[in-house]
Amino acid sequence: MKFNLPNALALLLFVLGGCATNSSSTVYEQLGGASKVSEIVDNFVWEIEYDEQILPYFEGANIDRFKQKLSEQICVVTNGPCEYTGDTMQQVHTGMNITEHHFNRTVDLLINAMNKANVPHPLQNKVLKGLAPTRKDMLYL
């Protein structure tokens, strides 16, 4: 068999094109929609449950409501077909006195949750970028 550069190049472009994400799809769609968001949130709750530093912040929390509202929030910031119906981040976090350390630790737990859900790192970065503006409404309130 003789090597044919134009055919080899065409094959390579075809294969690589199949690996590329559709730039017109939303981050929500790239993640895999509601089922993947739910998996991330479930993993995140599991991470929190076993973290001695962060678990105290959730004492007395309604975990089912937390999961529902976090799912909505992730859906919204990834341009999914959702509406966030919960309280503002400032309302939820006032009086919790969350430190920079604990905020960063919680972000680490969310990253762990996304890793366990096999979310590729570029998509993780997009999710975190969408959530980042809420940081100012959580610290030291």
pLDDT reading at 5 higher than 60 = no
| pLDDT for the residue 137 | 93
Q: What percent of the chain has pLDDT over 70?
A: 83
**Residue 93 in marked binding region:** yes
Mean pLDDT of all residues in 2-14: 44
Question: Within 13 Å of residue 128, how many CA atoms lie on the same side as its CB?
Answer: 19
| pLDDT for the residue 108 | 98
Lowest mean pLDDT among 9-23, 26-40, 46-60, 112-126: 9-23
- 24-137: CATH topology: Globin-like (1.10.490)
Each residue's pLDDT tens digit, 52-97: 999 999 999 999 999 999 999 999 999 999 999 999 999 999 999 9
Name the band, by pLDDT with cuts 50, 70 and 90, for residue 102: very high
pLDDT reading at 1 higher than 80 = no
Per domain, the residue ranges of the chain are 24-137
pLDDT reading at 35 higher than 60 = yes
**Which amino acid belongs to residue 118?**
N
Q: What is the 3-state secondary structure (H, E, C) of the chain?
A: CCCCHHHHHHHHHHHHHHHCCCCCCCHHHHHCCHHHHHHHHHHHHHHHHCCCCCHHHHCCCCHHHHHHHHHHHHHHHCCCCCCCCCCCHHHHHCCCCECHHHHHHHHHHHHHHHHHCCCCHHHHHHHHHHHHHHHHHCECC
